[in-house]
């Protein structure tokens, strides 16, 4: 009898039997014991362990990466931070003004104050030619202080 393998039929054995060694008879009458192939769980565990090591290495180096990134991009990040801070400040100011505007009698009172100030400004600076000339001189003085040149 020269069968190549002696063992259970491949379709009728369980996974526990699959891990048992098979007996093989070779043509010379010698018998060899074959070890079962390693299951895929060992290789998948090895892969997961490699992934875990890569993630751990990355997480250990993450503070260094972040520190280097912030040091290299200090200027642009500061600018972006200031822009975001300005937007948040404007948003909060508008929300505060909206909340104040919702209080009864505050909105009409502020409108009356605005109308009164506008009337005073027109009377003080825009009603006569001499006052308009004075306003123009004040505006030019402020413009020269800001720009530093005579315009």
In this prediction, residues 88-113 reach a mean pLDDT of 94
Q: Are residues 82 and 46 in the same domain?
A: no
Q: Which residues of 118-146 are buried (b: 16+ CB within 10 A; e: fewer)?
A: eeeeeeeeeeeeeeeeeeeeeeeeeeeee
pLDDT confidence of residue 148? 87
Q: Are residues 56 and 98 in the same domain?
A: no
Q: Where are the beta strands (DSSP E) in the chain?
A: 22-25, 31-34
Q: Are residues 115 and 147 in the same domain?
A: yes
Choose between 25 and 146: higher pLDDT: 146
In this prediction, residues 110-118 reach a mean pLDDT of 96
Q: Are residues 115 and 136 in the same domain?
A: yes
- Mutual orientation of helices 106-121 and 74-101 as an angle, nearest 10°? 110
pLDDT at residue 4 greater than cutoff 60: no
Question: Residue 22 forms beta bridges with which residues?
Answer: 34
Q: Are residues 56 and 32 in the same domain?
A: no
Q: Are residues 110 and 150 in the same domain?
A: yes
Q: Are residues 147 and 114 in the same domain?
A: yes
pLDDT confidence of residue 88? 98
The pLDDT tens digits for 28-66 are 666 666 655 555 677 888 889 999 999 999 999 999 999
Work out the pLDDT band at 76, boundaries 50, 70, 90: very high
Range of the domain at 18: 1-37
Q: Are residues 95 and 117 in the same domain?
A: no
Number of domains in the chain: 4
Choose between 13 and 90: higher pLDDT: 90
Choose between 151 and 43: higher pLDDT: 43
Q: Are residues 115 and 145 in the same domain?
A: yes
Q: Are residues 96 and 84 in the same domain?
A: yes
> What mean pLDDT is reported for the chain?
82
Q: Are residues 113 and 150 in the same domain?
A: yes
Q: Are residues 92 and 126 in the same domain?
A: no
In this prediction, residues 2-10 reach a mean pLDDT of 48
pLDDT at residue 10 greater than cutoff 70: no
Closest CA to 34 of 7, 15, 68: 7
């Amino acid at each position: 009898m020269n069968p190549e393998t002696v063992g259970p039929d491949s379709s009728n054995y369980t996974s526990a039997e699959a891990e048992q060694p098979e007996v093989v008879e070779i043509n010379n009458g010698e018998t060899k014991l074959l070890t079962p192939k390693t299951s895929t769980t060992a290789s998948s565990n090895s892969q997961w362990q490699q992934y875990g090591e890569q993630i751990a290495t990355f997480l250990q180096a993450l503070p260094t990466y972040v520190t280097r990134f912030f040091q290299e991009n200090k200027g642009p990040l500061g600018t972006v931070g200031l822009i975001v801070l300005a937007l948040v400040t404007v948003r909060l100011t508008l929300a505060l003004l909206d909340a104040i505007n919702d209080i009864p009698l505050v909105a009409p009172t502020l409108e009356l104050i605005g109308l009164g100030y506008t009337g005073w400004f027109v009377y003080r600076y825009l009603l006569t030619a001499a006052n308009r000339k004075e306003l123009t001189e004040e505006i030019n003085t402020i413009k020269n202080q800001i720009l530093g040149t005579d315009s």
